[in-house]
A = this chain, B = another copy of it.
Amino acid sequence: MIIVLKPNATPPEVDHVIDRIKELGLKAHVSQGEHRTIIGVIGDETKLSKEPLLAIAGVEQVLPIMKPFKLASREFNKKDSVVVVGGRVKVGGGHLGMIAGPCAIEGREILNEIAGEVKKAGANLLRGGAFKPRTSPYTFQGMGEEGLKILREVGDAHDMPVVTEVMDPRQVPLVEKWADMLQIGARNMQNFDLLKEVGQTRKAILLKRGMSATVKDLLMSAEYILSEGNQSVVLCERGVRSFEDSTRNMLDMSAVPNVKGMSHLPIIVDPSHATGRRDLIPPMALASVAAGADGVHIEVHSCPEKALSDGPQALLPPNYGKLMEQIRKVAEVMGKTF
């Protein structure tokens, strides 16, 4: 950590900062520049939290040098992690997790139809929401436990491990019972009690990036899960809020290689939620694989106009099939398989 003092910091102020550093068992390394005094702190940086230092008179800037996450960091694990979902589907390290399915579980028959189609096209993980985070209290909130059972049955019938969202720490035992991969939605990326709760399960976790979370924030949230002992975390870029008004969110494609530089965790992309537009899903899915993503999460619905949630961002099964053929070719160029 580096502490930059104000140009007019007094010697007692400088001494006071040095004393605080020494109190913590750290060493202070003082550089007297032309315009500023700079203090380098040597030792375990975590002993100093950034903020109280800034509150000391005479301090202008505090620049942390170390990244605030550890278990999620590339330094901690130089090799790409591979997360295994449902004991058989690998995500990461050259294996693409191709997640597909409707936004919400609406019934056994329709889910079964969609699952059959996406499986045939090459999807290896089935998604469907039983608990839906909706901005309005007046819209469909999901089928709950009944939906989870349907998802399990349909997944088993098609030999696909299943992914579903969990929104409330109290639901974790229930969702854990029925699903292979627990999704933490964007709105809950910093719901820290929920992160701790899923960190105590041994299920794979799909952690979506919050709508205004930096890449570092996302990795800090992954750290919450990892630090509880659950190492099976897959990150998901799903777009962030921006001023652009012709797409629902802005897909931050560079987050894919950016995360891979900082962390060993797999990262997939969800072009459905990122763009909110069916026409943009295929090009963004192809781009994701070319950018190095470890998978793609796509909403597929056989009758989007009757979907109870998010119809306009779902592909029809035949379009999904066509897209998967192209994805296969790009994946081959990138040396990846699914």
Contact = CB atoms under 8 A, between A and B. Distances in A.
B223 A246 contact: no
A253 B256 contact: no
Contacts of A252: 242, 244, 250-251
Contacts of A283: 254, 256-257, 290-292
A164 interface: no
Q: Report whether over half of chain A's contact residues are helix, strand or loop; otherwise say mixed.
A: mixed
A31 interface: yes
Contacts of A68: 135-136, 138
B257 A244 contact: no
Please classify how large the interface on chain A is, using the bins under 10, 10 to 19, 20 to 34, 35 or more: 35 or more
B253 A247 contact: no
A90 interface: no
Interface string A30-70: 01111110101011101001011111100001010110110
Contacts of A211: 212
A279 interface: yes
Nearest to A66: B35
Given A52-B307, A135-B217, A253 B212 contact: no
Contact of A52 (B188, B216, B306, B334): B306
A305 B21 CA distance: 12
B240 A240 contact: no
A275 interface: yes
A167 B63 CA distance: 30
A324 to B, nearest CB: 13
B169 A214 contact: no
B241 A247 contact: no
- Please give the count of copies of this chain that the complex contains: 4
A7 interface: yes
A193 interface: yes
B135 A49 contact: no
Interface string A288-307: 11111000000000001111
A286 B279 contact: no
Given A187-B191, A211-B212, A223-B136, A284 B55 contact: no
Nearest to A260: B283
Given A55-B305, A169-B170, A291-B286, A214 B191 contact: no
A311 B62 CA distance: 13
Interface of A: 2, 4, 7, 20, 29, 31-36, 38, 40, 42-44, 46, 49, 51-56, 61, 63, 65-66, 68-69, 75, 133-140, 167-170, 187-188, 190-194, 196, 210-212, 214-217, 220-221, 223-224, 227, 240-247, 250-258, 261, 271, 274-275, 278-280, 283-284, 286-292, 304-307, 309-312, 314, 326, 329-330, 333-334
5 contacts: A32-B42, A46-B138, A68-B138, A133-B190, A257-B279
